[in-house]
Amino acid sequence: MSKKPKLMVIEDDRDIINIIRINFELKGFDVYGCLKSRRGLAESLLELPDAIILDLLMPDKNGWEVLEELKTNPVTRDIPVIICSVMKQPRAIGKAKEMGAFAYVQKPFDSLELISLVEGAIYRNGKRR
């Protein structure tokens, strides 16, 4: 039996974490939600998730800083990060890609699209389900 893929959600809105959790658990994922970005960074080092969904507008440490830390740390740099944010500016989307994000999804998001992106990121990263 193959292990369940792990998904880390770093998001300050508990309702969004719960929506993501419900949808991804139905698809066989283990989902870890963190309401604080600093905790998400620490947990990502402990759990080594197969993918991370990251909000940019966080109260304690913004998503740009989190993305930079994830992508410069040799332990986490290969974990695919999907940005999920209300920011719609093309410059923000381009910056996220330049910084190493796998994809950028705007809120409100389509759950099926988000699942497809995460599964694609994991598959591309060599962790087939």
Residue 68 resides in a domain: yes
pLDDT in tens, the chain (129 residues): 458 999 999 999 999 999 999 999 999 999 999 999 999 999 999 999 999 999 999 989 999 999 999 999 999 999 999 999 999 889 999 999 999 999 999 999 999 999 999 999 998 877 543
Domain count, the chain: 1
Flag whether 102 is in a domain. Answer: yes
Q: Is 53 a member of any domain?
A: yes
Distances (CA, A) of 104 to 1, 2, 26, 74, 120: 32, 28, 23, 22, 13
Q: What is the pLDDT of residue 129?
A: 39
Alpha helices in 48-107 (DSSP H): 63-72, 90-98
Q: Quick check: bond before 108 cis, omega within 30?
A: yes
CA atoms within 13 A on the CB side of 24: 28
Supply the pTM of this predicted model: 0.94
Residue 127: what pLDDT? Answer: 57
Residue 2: the pLDDT is 58
CA atoms within 13 A of residue 21's CA, in its CB half-sphere: 13
**6-10, strands of its sheet edge to edge:** 30-34, 6-10, 51-54, 81-85, 103-106
Q: What is the CATH number of the domain that holds 23?
A: 3.40.50.2300
Neighbours of 14 (CB within 10 A): 10
Residue-range definition of the domain harbouring residue 30: 6-124
In a domain, 114, yes or no: yes
Query: Residue written as tokens 């039996």?
Result: 1
- Residue 129 domain-assigned? no
